[in-house]
A and B are shown apart, each in its own frame.
Chain A
Amino acid sequence: QKEVEQDPGPLSVPEGAIVSLNCTYSNSAFQYFMWYRQYSRKGPELLMYTYSSGNKEDGRFTAQVDKSSKYISLFIRDSQPSDSATYLCAMKPSWGKLQFGAGTQVVVTP
């Protein structure tokens, strides 16, 4: 079993809809939770990171962490075609390397 599970998609939504992405994990030692956006043939771009449980909001993006359920989410409001990309979740314990999910491909159609 992988430590981090993420549905690879593709996830197709119409412009203006809310995009809902999630990852589950098995390692209870994970403390830091990140979301990266990766456009085709580019490097990953750090969108948000959260320490421990709770919510974090940045513009149209909201990240949620539920450590009791070992479940993290990223919501993108008012989605735009420019949001079409692969979204990678990543997480790490206090000391240790990043563990990435497989990445979810998102397509926002005009």
Chain B
Amino acid sequence: DTEVTQTPKHLVMGMTNKKSLKCEQHMGHRAMYWYKQKAKKPPELMFVYSYEKLSINESVPSRFSPECPNSSLLNLHLHALQPEDSALYLCASSPRQETQETQYFGPGTRLLVL
């Protein structure tokens, strides 16, 4: 099973709302990632968690707050977003951070900020 699941599939929020994206994998992977993808662009790395600890933050604004409650779950908390944050948010996982060549992506959450 190489499945990464993400909820919700779609999300519409206002600029004053607080919402959370959820990602789950049961492959025993110890590295998990958040990416942002705009239309017709490749995914852009936001955060990397390795063994439930934040390993990389690609200078992402503080209105995005990641959380890794356990080795199977990854959350992305959203607060006071801007319209330009509208994008497809992708979660991915790999066995370890060193083995990103076998990185599996979820279907994504399509976010619209009004």
Point out residues on A near B: beta carbons under 8 Å: 8, 32, 34, 36, 41-46, 49, 51, 88, 92, 95, 97-98, 100-103
Contacts and interface: CB of A to CB of B under 8 A. Distances in A.
B40 A41 contact: no
| Interface secondary structure of B, over-half rule | mixed
B42 A101 contact: yes
Interface in B84-114: 88, 90, 98, 100-108, 110
B42 A43 contact: no
Contacts of B41: 102-103
Contacts of B28: none
B3 to A, nearest CB: 11
Given A41-B88, A102-B41, A102-B42, A95 B98 contact: yes
A29 B88 CA distance: 30
Contacts of A42: 107-108
Contacts of A102: 41-42
A49 B102 contact: yes
Contacts of A92: 100-101
Contacts of B42: 88, 100-103
A38 to B, nearest CB: 9
Contact of A98 (B4, B6, B103, B104): B103
B43 interface: yes
A53 B25 CA distance: 31
Given A43-B106, A45-B105, 5 more contacts: A34-B103, A46-B104, A49-B102, A92-B100, A98-B100
